[in-house]
């Protein structure tokens, strides 16, 4: 844990300070470049308090703000948040309508601060089914932060991992017919470029809250080598210390890519 505090120097100076020197030199392993989060437990959090489910979603949005700051402070480069899955359309109509207003609420309350702090907002998912007002808000957030060079805050909205792979395969078939794409040109790099995470490193760490131990169709291709970290904590209760704990655990785990662990000596 001590090591982690070195990584937090920037955080103590200013949550969104401009320090960009080495943050991780004493850690066994660098902080993850890309952290993906399944933010589960918002509805349950509200029900436990006798509140409507939407109160849980709003509390969940506050947790997004908090964790964005701490992720940036720790030197994480990409933070992907699963805000709305392709399955979530099955929820009650009122709840879906409320969720679809959250991107607007978020940009009204957060966009200026994100811009000041050099955060770049990105989006992945299918835009077709989104209400026009939701899409406008997301596009505004993406556009107004597109030249920022700091933390990438990537929202997965109307996103599904299998759907993403279907779309990539459709692009391949289209290119084979119209652009002379040959089968051997399709390799892992080609697929990466045609997924919605194109240009981003793959997540090193997946966090899921609320005690569910499932992937639920999230980033199926990109999570192939990621570490998974689960907690019983409900998303609105997820605090800075919990995120720091997840990163610290990640840093202290040995990851093997079928070969030597990163912190394993060659002659040990």
**CB distance 35 to 205 below 8 Å:** yes
Nearer to ligand V07, 9 or 136 (CB): 136
If one asks whether residue 57 binds ligand V07 (CB under 6 A), the answer comes out as: yes
Nearer to ligand V07, 127 or 241 (CB): 127
If one asks whether residue 243 binds ligand V07 (CB under 6 A), the answer comes out as: no
| Interface region with ligand V07, contact rule CB under 6 A, candidates 59-67, 192-200, 205-213, 253-261 | 59-67
Q: Among 84, 159, 218, 238, indicate the residue that binds ligand V07 (CB under 6 A).
A: 84
Shortest approach of ligand V07 to residue 232 CB, angstroms? 17
If one asks whether residue 103 binds ligand V07 (CB under 6 A), the answer comes out as: yes
Name the DSSP letter for residue 83. Answer: E
Q: Return the axis-axis angle of helices 102-116 and 53-74, rounded to nearest 10°.
A: 20
Q: What's the rounded Cα separation, in Å, for the pair 256 and 165?
A: 26
Q: Is 94 a catalytic residue?
A: no
Q: Among 61, 219, 246, 247, indicate the residue that binds ligand V07 (CB under 6 A).
A: 61
If one asks whether residue 202 binds ligand V07 (CB under 6 A), the answer comes out as: no
Site for ligand V07 in 146-175 (CB under 6 A): 155, 157
Give the residue closest to ligand V07 by C-beta: 60
Nearer to ligand V07, 143 or 174 (CB): 143
Nearer to ligand V07, 108 or 262 (CB): 108
Q: Is 252 a catalytic residue?
A: no
If one asks whether residue 41 binds ligand V07 (CB under 6 A), the answer comes out as: no
Name the DSSP letter for residue 254. Answer: P
| Interface region with ligand V07, contact rule CB under 6 A, candidates 56-64, 195-203, 217-225, 257-265 | 56-64
Binding site for ligand V07 (CB under 6 A): 39, 42, 57, 60-61, 64, 83-84, 99, 102-103, 106, 121, 138, 141, 155, 157, 235
* Active site positions, annotated: 40, 88
């Amino acid at each position: 844990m001590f090591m982690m505090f070195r990584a937090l120097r920037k955080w103590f100076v200013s949550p969104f300070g401009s320090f960009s020197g080495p943050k991780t030199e004493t850690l066994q392993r660098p902080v993850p470049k890309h952290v993906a989060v399944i933010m589960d437990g918002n509805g349950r959090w509200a029900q436990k308090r006798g509140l409507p489910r939407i109160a849980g979603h709003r509390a969940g949005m506050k947790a997004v703000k908090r964790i964005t700051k701490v992720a940036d402070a720790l030197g994480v480069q990409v933070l992907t948040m699963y805000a709305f899955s392709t399955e979530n359309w099955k929820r009650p109509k009122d709840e879906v309508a409320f969720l679809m207003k959250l991107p607007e609420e978020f940009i009204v309350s957060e966009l200026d601060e994100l811009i000041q702090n050099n955060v770049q907002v990105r989006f992945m998912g299918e835009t077709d089914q989104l209400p026009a007002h939701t899409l406008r808000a997301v596009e505004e957030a993406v556009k107004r932060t597109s030249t920022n060079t700091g933390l990438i805050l990537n929202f997965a909205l109307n996103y599904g991992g299998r759907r993403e792979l279907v779309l990539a395969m459709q692009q391949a078939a289209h290119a084979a017919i119209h652009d002379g794409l040959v089968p051997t040109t399709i390799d892992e790099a080609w697929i990466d470029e045609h997924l919605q995470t194109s240009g981003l490193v793959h997540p090193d760490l997946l966090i899921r809250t609320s005690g569910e131990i499932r992937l639920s169709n999230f980033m199926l291709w990109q999570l192939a080598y990621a570490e998974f970290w689960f907690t019983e904590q409900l998303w609105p209760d997820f605090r800075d210390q919990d995120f720091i704990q997840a990163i610290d655990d990640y840093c202290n785990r040995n990851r093997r890519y079928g070969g030597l662990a990163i912190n394993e000596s060659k002659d040990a």
